[in-house]
Structure 1
Amino acid sequence: MSNTTRRTFTISMLALLAACGRPQQASKFQRYNGPPITQVHINKGQRRMHLLSGQQVIRSYDVSLGNQPIGHKQFSGDGKTPEGVYFIDRFNPRSAFHLSVGINYPNEQDRAFAAAHGRDPGGDIFIHGRGPQGNYLFPQARDWTAGCIAVTDQEMEEIYAMLLPHTPVVIRA
């Protein structure tokens, strides 16, 4: 074997060994093979979220809410989590909060109320993980979001896999 061939072979083997020794990074995208989630119920007072298939609770999670958790979100910047019936309307795999699933706040009634008061209703309400930002800035905070519903990153991976567009989200005081 020539020196060039030996060198090429040695470098190739070292690269192969290095790749084999590297731990596989787990994907944040999971698969879900259970019953379809037909509704999400969030009880703000209990700080609990339930994913249901029909009347059966499939999974439940502790949640964090907006930094002003009492009352229905009415205006941009009020720090409140909305109350009412909404729907899943988008998925964000590149969220600053690990993964996120959007709800369609503001709905028609929310926009009309804010307009009647000459205000902006706000928007961008998500169910999301904590992500590096939430873990760093609010490691122990109970309610720390700007109006969203937050769970751990690991829980958000499960939720992201389980939900489909147009799933109803019922948020109660």
Structure 2
Amino acid sequence: MLGGLSAAVLSGCANKPQTYNGPEATRLRLYKSQRMLVLDGVSEPLRTYPVGLGFAPTGHKQFEGDGRTPEGSYLIDRRNPESLFHLSIGISYPNEADKTFAAAQGKSPGSDIFIHGGPRPGIDPTNVRDRTAGCIAVTDSQIEEIYAMVRDGTPIDIYA
């Protein structure tokens, strides 16, 4: 029993990206109200995933710490194989409009919005469905697929 538990914990740390040789993911669409992420190919959707959102899942992210997931058009702009949440890919929030709005209110727009897997060992997994502070959460196996299928520069449209 203990050997199986050790193997499960160690496999959780083995977050090496998968390889993918299928059709290119050309766009991502997130439907927040449906908690659904769609990876589109050139002519049809390639994959659909259920997601968890920030602890305040409705409304557009405006300020650092508001717990909201952004809405609008962004890009996948970075990847983090050493994320605290298994693998993660970054979203280009905040854009210029987000920065301008927050600055006019005298606040920070926040940053570091990612699509990520579950927490690594030692991270508190409280509130599994909406466990993020504005990110988009999927399972570890799902982020491994997404990480392999999506390239930096891929557009992501986030709808209410």
- Shorter-chain TM-score: what band? 0.7 to 0.9
Amino acid at match of 2:48: S
User: Quick one: which amino acid aligns to residue 132 of structure 2?
Assistant: T
Aligned position for 1:121: 109
Q: Residue type of the partner of 1:91? A: R
Percent of aligned positions with the same letter in both sequences?
56
- Post-superposition Cα deviations, 1:127-152, rounded to whole Å, max 9, x if no partner, equal 000122697422x5321200000000
Q: Structure 1: any 5+ residue segments left out of the alignment? A: 1-24
Task: Decide whether the 8 Å contact of 2:62 with 2:102 is kept in 1.
Answer: yes
The match for 1:163 among 150, 154, 159 is: 150
Q: How many residues in Structure 1 have an aligned counterpart in Structure 2? A: 150
Equivalent position to 2:134, from 140, 147, 155 = 147
Q: Which amino acid in the other structure matches residue 70 of structure 1?
A: T
Provide closer, same or farther for how the CA distance between residues 154 and 135 of structure 1 changes in structure 2, counting only shifts above 3 A: farther
TM-score normalised by structure 1 residue count: 0.81
- State the structure with more CA Rg: 1
User: Could you tell me which of 108, 115, 118 is aligned with 2:96?
Assistant: 108
Determine the C-alpha separation between the residues in 1 that align with 2:122 and 2:105.
32
The 3-state SS of whatever aligns with 1:109 is: helix
Separation of aligned partners in 2, 1:134 and 1:54: 40
- Check conservation: 1:97, 1:134, Cα contact below 8 A: no
TM-score of the pair, normalised by structure 2: 0.88
Kindly provide the CA deviation profile for residues 97-155 of structure 1, in whole angstroms up to 9, marking residues without a partner as x: 000000100000000000111110000000000122697422x5321200000000111
